[in-house]
Chains A and B, each alone.
Chain A
Amino acid sequence: AQSVTQLGSHVSVSEGALVLLRCNYSSSVPPYLFWYVQYPNQGLQLLLKYTSAATLVKGINGFEAEFKKSETSFHLTKPSAHMSDAAEYFCAVSPTGGGNKLTFGTGTQLKVEL
């Protein structure tokens, strides 16, 4: 069984500041991990994924995430926030090779302020 916990349902940052969205996972087998983003009035889309290759994964729009097994974490970061980053972000986990059965977190709403 696997699960993810996203710490903070709402995160607010200033434009240009570091974005850090937290995700911790629990999995009985080596996991695959994902971040999805939902921009206002749009459907969810895949932002990046970890599938047991490089532990630092780069995604679209300057986002990246690092898989840390010792901390069971897969936090999402971006060095400098932009207004267009305002969206809801979902972390998800699946067992290795079982990407069709994702278990999602409850989401973090990112607000970017001037």
Chain B
Amino acid sequence: GAGVSQSPSNKVTEKGKDVELRCDPISGHTALYWYRQSLGQGLEFLIYFQGNSAPDKSGLPSDRFSAERTGGSVSTLTIQRTQQEDSAVYLCASSAGGGGQPQHFGDGTRLSIL
């Protein structure tokens, strides 16, 4: 597609369940970012992938969060044993070059933990 695609657009799950969020970046973009936006907060950096380099995981809030990027394209963000404070909009972004800022964001996945 033309833009960054994220799925699902909405996810409601019970506390303690695992969730997987998917991001399909713009074709050819080597850099991929995950951010999240909690209610009333600015966007919070989670993780950054650039090509085949080791990802920058410094923004992941706990070891319940993990992400992978297969084949340099699609990325999956996994949250294990979800907690209510994980409720947020999870945004994926991509850009053409490395070391730079995200250029285009997806529409996000709105995650609600009951």
Contacts and interface: CB of A to CB of B under 8 A. Distances in A.
Interface of A: 4, 32, 34, 36, 38, 41-46, 49, 90, 92, 94, 97, 99-107
Nearest to B101: A99
B108 A99 contact: no
Q: Which of A46, A105, A107 has the most CB of B within 10 A?
A: A46
12 contacts: A38-B105, A43-B3, A43-B104, A44-B91, A44-B102, A46-B103, A100-B56, A100-B100, A101-B45, A101-B48, A101-B59, A107-B42
Interface of B: 3-4, 31, 33, 35, 40-45, 48, 50, 56, 58-59, 91, 93, 99-108
A70 to B, nearest CB: 25
Contacts of A32: 101
Given A99-B99, A100-B31, A45 B105 contact: yes
A44 to B, nearest CB: 4
Contacts of B40: 106
B99 A106 contact: no
A26 to B, nearest CB: 13
A103 B56 CA distance: 15
A43 B106 contact: yes
